[in-house]
Amino acid sequence: MLESDKEKVLAALRRNRIASMATVTADGQPQAVTILYVVDDDLNLYFVTREKSRKVANLDANGMVAMSIGLEPPMNVQLEGRAVRVDDELVRADKMAELAHAGADLEDLWPPILRVGKEGYVLYKVMPEKVRALDLSDHNISSEDPPYIELM
Amino acid sequence: MPKRKKVSILIVEDDQLLAKALEAKLLQEDFDVSFAIDGQSAVEAAVRDKPDVILLDLLLPIMGGFEVLSSLKLNDETKDIPVLILSNLSQAKEIERGQDLGAKEYLIKSDVSLKTVLEKIRGLLKL
Protein backbone atom coordinates (compact mmCIF):
# COMPACT_ATOMS: atom_id res chain seq x y z
CA MET A 1 0.00 0.00 0.00
CA LEU A 2 1.42 3.38 -1.02
CA GLU A 3 1.40 5.80 1.90
CA SER A 4 0.28 8.63 -0.40
CA ASP A 5 -2.69 6.56 -1.60
CA LYS A 6 -3.63 5.75 1.99
CA GLU A 7 -3.46 9.44 2.91
CA LYS A 8 -5.70 10.36 -0.03
CA VAL A 9 -8.28 7.81 1.03
CA LEU A 10 -8.01 8.80 4.70
CA ALA A 11 -8.57 12.43 3.75
CA ALA A 12 -11.72 11.45 1.84
CA LEU A 13 -12.95 9.34 4.77
CA ARG A 14 -12.29 12.17 7.24
CA ARG A 15 -14.03 14.72 5.08
CA ASN A 16 -17.13 12.58 4.73
CA ARG A 17 -19.02 11.58 7.83
CA ILE A 18 -21.88 9.64 6.33
CA ALA A 19 -21.72 6.17 4.78
CA SER A 20 -24.16 3.81 3.14
CA MET A 21 -23.62 0.46 4.80
CA ALA A 22 -24.93 -2.95 3.86
CA THR A 23 -25.38 -5.80 6.29
CA VAL A 24 -27.17 -9.10 5.83
CA THR A 25 -29.95 -10.63 7.85
CA ALA A 26 -29.60 -14.02 9.47
CA ASP A 27 -31.35 -15.57 6.45
CA GLY A 28 -29.13 -13.75 3.95
CA GLN A 29 -31.30 -10.83 2.92
CA PRO A 30 -29.45 -7.56 2.27
CA GLN A 31 -30.17 -4.43 4.27
CA ALA A 32 -28.72 -1.01 3.56
CA VAL A 33 -28.58 1.81 6.08
CA THR A 34 -27.04 5.24 6.46
CA ILE A 35 -24.59 5.73 9.29
CA LEU A 36 -22.55 8.48 10.87
CA TYR A 37 -18.93 7.38 11.29
CA VAL A 38 -15.48 8.47 12.39
CA VAL A 39 -12.20 6.96 11.16
CA ASP A 40 -8.83 6.30 12.80
CA ASP A 41 -5.37 6.39 11.23
CA ASP A 42 -5.53 2.68 10.35
CA LEU A 43 -8.70 3.03 8.27
CA ASN A 44 -10.89 1.49 10.97
CA LEU A 45 -14.34 3.07 11.00
CA TYR A 46 -16.50 3.51 14.10
CA PHE A 47 -20.24 3.96 14.21
CA VAL A 48 -22.90 3.85 16.88
CA THR A 49 -26.38 2.44 16.71
CA ARG A 50 -29.17 1.37 19.02
CA GLU A 51 -29.15 -2.04 20.67
CA LYS A 52 -32.60 -2.78 19.28
CA SER A 53 -31.81 -1.79 15.69
CA ARG A 54 -31.98 -4.24 12.80
CA LYS A 55 -28.29 -3.80 12.08
CA VAL A 56 -27.36 -5.09 15.52
CA ALA A 57 -29.41 -8.23 14.92
CA ASN A 58 -27.78 -8.61 11.50
CA LEU A 59 -24.26 -8.06 12.81
CA ASP A 60 -24.81 -10.52 15.65
CA ALA A 61 -25.51 -13.15 12.99
CA ASN A 62 -22.89 -12.02 10.46
CA GLY A 63 -20.36 -9.30 11.16
CA MET A 64 -19.46 -8.61 7.54
CA VAL A 65 -20.35 -5.19 6.14
CA ALA A 66 -19.89 -3.33 2.87
CA MET A 67 -19.81 0.44 2.65
CA SER A 68 -19.91 3.12 0.02
CA ILE A 69 -18.73 6.51 1.13
CA GLY A 70 -19.04 9.89 -0.43
CA LEU A 71 -18.37 11.82 -3.57
CA GLU A 72 -16.57 14.68 -1.82
CA PRO A 73 -13.75 15.35 -2.45
CA PRO A 74 -14.20 13.74 -5.82
CA MET A 75 -13.57 10.27 -4.51
CA ASN A 76 -15.86 7.36 -3.73
CA VAL A 77 -14.52 4.87 -1.20
CA GLN A 78 -15.72 1.28 -1.20
CA LEU A 79 -14.90 -0.65 1.93
CA GLU A 80 -15.62 -4.20 3.00
CA GLY A 81 -14.77 -5.56 6.41
CA ARG A 82 -15.88 -6.96 9.72
CA ALA A 83 -17.77 -5.01 12.37
CA VAL A 84 -17.11 -5.87 16.01
CA ARG A 85 -18.65 -4.41 19.14
CA VAL A 86 -16.43 -2.13 21.19
CA ASP A 87 -16.81 -2.76 24.91
CA ASP A 88 -13.68 -1.04 26.23
CA GLU A 89 -15.07 1.88 28.23
CA LEU A 90 -12.21 4.26 27.44
CA VAL A 91 -12.40 3.61 23.70
CA ARG A 92 -16.18 3.90 23.84
CA ALA A 93 -16.04 7.27 25.60
CA ASP A 94 -13.43 8.55 23.16
CA LYS A 95 -15.21 7.42 19.99
CA MET A 96 -18.67 8.44 21.19
CA ALA A 97 -17.33 11.94 21.82
CA GLU A 98 -15.78 11.96 18.33
CA LEU A 99 -19.07 10.83 16.83
CA ALA A 100 -20.97 13.53 18.72
CA HIS A 101 -18.59 16.15 17.31
CA ALA A 102 -18.94 14.67 13.82
CA GLY A 103 -22.72 14.93 14.16
CA ALA A 104 -22.46 18.52 15.32
CA ASP A 105 -20.47 19.42 12.21
CA LEU A 106 -23.34 18.37 9.96
CA GLU A 107 -25.39 21.53 10.11
CA ASP A 108 -28.31 20.59 7.92
CA LEU A 109 -28.24 16.89 8.47
CA TRP A 110 -28.88 15.75 11.99
CA PRO A 111 -28.05 12.04 11.94
CA PRO A 112 -30.96 9.80 12.93
CA ILE A 113 -29.00 8.36 15.83
CA LEU A 114 -29.09 11.80 17.48
CA ARG A 115 -32.82 12.13 16.95
CA VAL A 116 -34.01 8.81 18.24
CA GLY A 117 -31.47 8.02 20.96
CA LYS A 118 -32.20 7.24 24.60
CA GLU A 119 -31.96 3.50 24.16
CA GLY A 120 -28.77 1.56 24.78
CA TYR A 121 -26.06 2.55 22.37
CA VAL A 122 -23.79 -0.01 20.75
CA LEU A 123 -20.46 1.13 19.34
CA TYR A 124 -18.97 -0.83 16.45
CA LYS A 125 -15.51 -0.84 14.97
CA VAL A 126 -15.32 -1.82 11.31
CA MET A 127 -11.96 -3.36 10.47
CA PRO A 128 -11.51 -3.16 6.71
CA GLU A 129 -10.46 -6.21 4.75
CA LYS A 130 -10.79 -4.61 1.34
CA VAL A 131 -10.62 -0.90 0.51
CA ARG A 132 -10.65 0.69 -2.87
CA ALA A 133 -11.35 4.22 -3.93
CA LEU A 134 -12.46 5.63 -7.23
CA ASP A 135 -10.75 8.91 -7.96
CA LEU A 136 -13.49 10.88 -9.69
CA SER A 137 -11.20 13.82 -10.36
CA ASP A 138 -9.55 11.77 -13.11
CA HIS A 139 -10.76 13.16 -16.41
CA ASN A 140 -10.11 9.95 -18.32
CA ILE A 141 -12.43 7.57 -16.53
CA SER A 142 -13.12 4.57 -18.70
CA SER A 143 -14.66 1.18 -18.11
CA GLU A 144 -11.47 -0.52 -19.35
CA ASP A 145 -9.18 1.16 -16.88
CA PRO A 146 -11.10 2.87 -14.07
CA PRO A 147 -8.86 4.96 -11.78
CA TYR A 148 -9.24 2.83 -8.67
CA ILE A 149 -6.82 3.08 -5.78
CA GLU A 150 -6.61 -0.39 -4.26
CA LEU A 151 -5.44 -0.30 -0.66
CA MET A 152 -6.20 -3.86 0.45
CA MET B 1 -11.57 46.47 27.04
CA PRO B 2 -13.52 44.13 29.37
CA LYS B 3 -14.22 40.72 27.92
CA ARG B 4 -17.85 40.25 26.92
CA LYS B 5 -19.63 37.63 28.99
CA LYS B 6 -20.56 34.59 26.97
CA VAL B 7 -24.18 33.57 26.66
CA SER B 8 -24.73 30.54 28.91
CA ILE B 9 -26.86 27.57 27.98
CA LEU B 10 -27.93 24.83 30.37
CA ILE B 11 -28.48 21.57 28.48
CA VAL B 12 -30.82 19.25 30.36
CA GLU B 13 -30.45 15.94 28.60
CA ASP B 14 -29.75 12.40 29.81
CA ASP B 15 -28.77 11.10 26.38
CA GLN B 16 -25.01 11.53 26.50
CA LEU B 17 -24.45 11.29 22.74
CA LEU B 18 -27.00 13.98 22.00
CA ALA B 19 -25.80 16.14 24.89
CA LYS B 20 -22.23 15.95 23.56
CA ALA B 21 -23.35 16.86 20.04
CA LEU B 22 -25.32 19.84 21.36
CA GLU B 23 -22.35 20.88 23.47
CA ALA B 24 -19.99 20.66 20.47
CA LYS B 25 -22.30 22.76 18.34
CA LEU B 26 -22.88 25.40 21.01
CA LEU B 27 -19.18 25.64 21.86
CA GLN B 28 -18.40 26.14 18.16
CA GLU B 29 -20.74 29.11 18.30
CA ASP B 30 -18.99 30.48 21.39
CA PHE B 31 -21.72 29.80 23.94
CA ASP B 32 -20.91 28.78 27.49
CA VAL B 33 -22.37 25.32 28.11
CA SER B 34 -23.30 23.39 31.22
CA PHE B 35 -25.20 20.13 31.72
CA ALA B 36 -27.76 18.47 33.89
CA ILE B 37 -28.64 14.83 33.33
CA ASP B 38 -31.75 14.64 35.48
CA GLY B 39 -34.61 16.92 36.41
CA GLN B 40 -33.64 17.58 39.99
CA SER B 41 -30.09 18.63 39.16
CA ALA B 42 -31.50 20.78 36.33
CA VAL B 43 -33.57 22.81 38.79
CA GLU B 44 -30.61 23.10 41.17
CA ALA B 45 -28.30 24.21 38.33
CA ALA B 46 -30.81 26.77 37.09
CA VAL B 47 -31.18 28.34 40.56
CA ARG B 48 -27.44 28.28 41.17
CA ASP B 49 -26.12 29.40 37.76
CA LYS B 50 -28.97 31.44 36.23
CA PRO B 51 -28.23 30.40 32.64
CA ASP B 52 -29.38 32.64 29.81
CA VAL B 53 -31.31 29.79 28.16
CA ILE B 54 -32.33 26.29 29.19
CA LEU B 55 -32.56 23.53 26.61
CA LEU B 56 -34.89 21.02 28.24
CA ASP B 57 -35.61 17.41 27.41
CA LEU B 58 -38.86 16.02 28.86
CA LEU B 59 -38.17 12.37 29.54
CA LEU B 60 -35.68 12.64 32.37
CA PRO B 61 -34.71 10.59 35.41
CA ILE B 62 -35.74 11.59 38.95
CA MET B 63 -37.90 14.54 37.87
CA GLY B 64 -39.57 14.85 34.46
CA GLY B 65 -39.17 17.84 32.18
CA PHE B 66 -42.71 19.18 32.69
CA GLU B 67 -42.13 19.15 36.44
CA VAL B 68 -38.81 20.92 35.95
CA LEU B 69 -40.46 23.58 33.82
CA SER B 70 -43.24 24.07 36.33
CA SER B 71 -40.75 24.39 39.17
CA LEU B 72 -38.65 26.93 37.26
CA LYS B 73 -41.67 29.09 36.46
CA LEU B 74 -42.84 29.08 40.08
CA ASN B 75 -39.50 30.35 41.33
CA ASP B 76 -38.88 34.11 41.12
CA GLU B 77 -35.18 33.44 40.58
CA THR B 78 -35.70 31.33 37.48
CA LYS B 79 -39.11 32.22 36.09
CA ASP B 80 -37.72 34.58 33.46
CA ILE B 81 -35.12 32.21 32.04
CA PRO B 82 -36.30 31.23 28.56
CA VAL B 83 -36.81 27.50 28.20
CA LEU B 84 -36.64 25.68 24.89
CA ILE B 85 -38.05 22.16 25.02
CA LEU B 86 -36.26 19.62 22.83
CA SER B 87 -38.10 16.34 23.06
CA ASN B 88 -39.23 13.27 21.20
CA LEU B 89 -42.73 13.74 22.64
CA SER B 90 -44.73 14.99 19.70
CA GLN B 91 -48.40 14.71 20.68
CA ALA B 92 -50.43 17.93 20.49
CA LYS B 93 -51.40 17.65 24.17
CA GLU B 94 -47.73 17.45 25.17
CA ILE B 95 -46.80 20.46 23.05
CA GLU B 96 -49.73 22.38 24.50
CA ARG B 97 -48.76 21.43 28.03
CA GLY B 98 -45.19 22.62 27.46
CA GLN B 99 -46.39 25.92 26.07
CA ASP B 100 -48.96 26.37 28.85
CA LEU B 101 -46.23 25.84 31.44
CA GLY B 102 -44.22 28.63 29.86
CA ALA B 103 -41.78 27.12 27.36
CA LYS B 104 -40.76 29.67 24.75
CA GLU B 105 -40.22 27.02 22.08
CA TYR B 106 -41.13 23.37 21.68
CA LEU B 107 -38.94 21.46 19.23
CA ILE B 108 -39.37 17.82 18.32
CA LYS B 109 -36.03 16.06 18.02
CA SER B 110 -36.96 14.06 14.96
CA ASP B 111 -38.06 17.20 13.10
CA VAL B 112 -35.19 19.60 13.61
CA SER B 113 -31.48 19.86 12.89
CA LEU B 114 -28.82 21.24 15.19
CA LYS B 115 -28.85 24.31 12.96
CA THR B 116 -32.53 24.86 13.77
CA VAL B 117 -31.87 24.49 17.49
CA LEU B 118 -29.16 27.08 17.20
CA GLU B 119 -31.40 29.47 15.26
CA LYS B 120 -34.13 29.13 17.88
CA ILE B 121 -31.68 29.88 20.68
CA ARG B 122 -30.43 32.93 18.82
CA GLY B 123 -34.04 33.98 18.23
CA LEU B 124 -34.87 33.69 21.94
CA LEU B 125 -31.88 35.81 22.83
CA LYS B 126 -32.35 38.21 19.91
CA LEU B 127 -28.73 37.65 18.87
For A39-96, the DSSP string reads: E-TTS-EEEEEETTSHHHHHHHH--EEEEEE--SSSEEEEEEEEEEE---HHHHHHHH
How far off is chain B from A30, nearest CA to CA, in Å? 26
Q: What is the pLDDT of residues A2-19, one digit of tens each?
A: 778 899 999 999 999 999
Using CA atoms, how far apart are residues A146 and A138, in angstroms rounded to an integer? 9
Q: What is the pLDDT of residues B91-114, one digit of tens each?
A: 999 999 999 999 999 999 888 888
Using CA atoms, how far apart are residues B76 and A57, in angstroms rounded to an integer? 51
| ∠ Cα A119 A125 A128 (to 5°) | 145
Q: Which of B15, B18, B26, B27 best probes binding to A when mutated, by most A CB atoms within 10 angstroms?
A: B18
Q: What CATH number is attached to the domain comprising A101?
A: 2.30.110.10
Flag whether residue B38 sits within 8 Å of chain A, measured between CB atoms: no
Kindly give the pairing relationship between strand A45-50 and strand B53-56.
unpaired
User: Is A114 close to B28, i.e. CB distance below 8 A?
Assistant: no
Q: What is the pLDDT of residues B11-37, one digit of tens each?
A: 999 988 889 889 998 998 999 999 999
Contact criterion met (CB below 8 Å) for A149 and A135: yes
Using CA atoms, how far apart are residues A3 and B41, in angstroms rounded to an integer? 50
The total of structural domains in chain A comes to 1
Nearest C-alpha neighbor of A53 from the set A89, A85, A5: A85
The continuous run of DSSP H or E covering B108 comes out as: strand B105-108
Chain-centroid distance, C-alpha A34: 9
Using CA atoms, how far apart are residues B24 and B1, in angstroms rounded to an integer? 28
Q: Which of A35, A49, A110 best probes binding to B when mutated, by most B CB atoms within 10 angstroms?
A: A110
User: Is B59 close to A113, i.e. CB distance below 8 A?
Assistant: no
Q: How many residues does chain B have?
A: 127
Domains and CATH numbers, chain B: 8-119 (3.40.50.2300)
Map residue A111 onto helix, strand or coil.
coil
Q: Predicted ipTM? A: 0.74
Provide the domain limits for residue A40.
3-137+145-150
Kindly give the pairing relationship between strand B105-108 and strand B8-12.
unpaired
Q: What is the pLDDT of residues A98-134, one digit of tens each?
A: 998 898 888 776 677 776 666 688 999 999 999 999 8
Contacts of B37 in chain A (CB under 8 A): none
